[in-house]
Structure 1
Amino acid sequence: MSDEAYADAEVRIPRSALGSVQRALIAVHAAVGLRATLQAIAEGVTSSTPYAEVTVTTAREPDAVDLYVEAVVGPPDALAQLLGTTCPRAALIEHLTGGEAWGALRFWSHFGQTEGVIMYVPDYEPLDVPDAWRPEYELMAPLYGPDGELIGTMSLDRPRDGRIPPPWANQILELFAEQAVIAILNARRHEQALRTMRTLEREAADLHAAVAEQFARETDLRDEARRDPLTGLANRVLLQERLEELLIARIPLAVVFCDLDHFKRINDTHGHLVGDEVLRVTGARLARRLAAADVVARIGGDEFVVVAARMRPQDAPALLRRIDEAFAGDPVRIGHLELHLSCSLGVVCDPGGAEGRPGSAAQRAEELLSSADREMYAHKRSRAGVHRLLQLAETKPDAEG
């Protein structure tokens, strides 16, 4: 059919065909995503026109170099040969220029050989009538965007009655092609929006992970700055902070200052490596036996401090016994060494309560630590004095001798 004959042909579209077109286009515009839209286009063409086999080729991005066969309705061998294949844009444009114009469609009475364009040749025996549709026939509906970009094609084949369809069928195809362009452009925008959203989500997730990593790193650094590197116990900074918090909250508490006896002798006799191990073992024992305490700290050398919240003065002796057992309950074994330890303890209590006390929390914390330190040294001196008296008694000559 020439272009003039096509234009002059009287077109009467059956009402049933218009209803089928309307239903098909509703399905096309309701599809979500590019691939679903293209499949709806292919299925809509076969349901609203006489053509039983449809192939939809499209560009996934504007002005893409290659176009892809994204939807095929037809026999299994057609799907296997065509679906997912690519066609260079330049080759497809060249191929379209060789077709006979049927309005906006392009028709070939025999397959042309355009390099890069894959053609499916159905294998069937055509009808023996003048208007029979033959296997070598090819019909295409180019899909042009508003700016003239070729965004794809619809390839039509195998009318169900085996005859060249009447002109109304091709008028429907032109209408369908116009709507297909709108649907494809909207689907491409949707896909681009999804990609942008996924990119933003990935960037947000990466940023969140980076912030979380930085926060964790800063938390670790803050924790390291508040921990004794040898024992892992709180250091003086964390001890001071927690003690001030308890004082501000006016919670009753006890502060116990602990000092290993004769630790210098251990270092001098066995070396600092053994001394460090003694401190690690002692710190671990304190942390284990006093897990309920608010703070167990090493503040330098062989000095440890325990802060127990909600501690009444009458409960302090039991706390001191637990601390003493942590130091002296079992010997510390290091290799072949077995070291028996003892400690000197000093305790002070703060009753807490609602009554205001003079001085800042920091000043009161320092006063409590200093008082506990003095109590500990008084204990150490008294024990040393008793020890010296015992030594003198053992070495004093018998008065009657």
Structure 2
Amino acid sequence: MSEGVMNEGVMRADTVHEAVTDEQRAAVAEFVAAVPMAVMVHSMQYEVVGANILCEGVLGCAVDDMVGRPVADFVPLGDRASATRIAVQLEHRYPDAGSTEHGRPVGALRRVRRGDGEVVSCWMHVGISMIAGRRFIVALLDLVNPVVDDTVRWRDRAERDELTGLLRRGPLLAHVDEWIVEDLPVALAFVDVDRLKSINDAHGHPAGDALLEAAGRRLHQWSPRGSVVGRYAGDEFVFAVTFDGPMGLDSAEVTESVRSAICGEPVPFGSSLLGVSVSVGVAVREPGESREALIQRADALMYRDKASRTT
């Protein structure tokens, strides 16, 4: 699969846009059934058209539940930029239909998202094949051995904050950048844990750490599927999500929902219960707005929220 390239991704000018026919779907089903390893086939518009039983084992999802879905559903957000590069490579490596030349597949160690949300690593070989008169992207998947998987886990650990397990600032903002490049509607929230210094002074830094860990965990548990949550700085978290433009997003509702999720219960620490309070600022990206400007607005709204509750 082309690693999460969206429908608006790189396509050839002569790409066929007609719906996949029943005859072509049947031919794809016959094709994948004959492949002796996990395989997924999707259209040049990145709709999953077929997969085999072995692919179910890799992705933890029934074939019937894969077919018809965008291939991006099975790819971690952070891998979509590299997906575009793979799509470009395939376009250059594979000749036009009818050519006597043979293309060359792209092979690499990649990450995929299983049906239960778990991210696993696999060797992936991706190429373009002509099936029933139509070009399809074919991906062969093979789960990596434990030694390689351990290396991948170390990479994942480097991207995450040690205390909370959330994304660090760099990987977090990389997700936001991808959405902005695709010109998607984006909402971004700054969440600041109030009075952390007072907690540290009164109970010690382990208490402050317990408060931060709980705030990050609760924010992550609250966040909807497809969103990203990270620790931006010492006592600041960032939550970002893209959403359906016509439906819009109520910033005030999100603000109170986040506050309720984090502050609804005190945080146990030793024999004490620590109250937790947060200031929240939610900004919805305006047309053409840069990531830096979006962050500045959310940050300013967070400080306005903090001031309104301390005066």
> Normalising by structure 2, what TM-score?
0.50
Greater relative contact order, per chain length (Cα 8 Å cut-off, separation 6+): 2
More helix by share: 1
TM-score by length of 1: 0.39
Computing the radius of gyration over CA atoms, which structure comes out larger, 1 or 2? 1
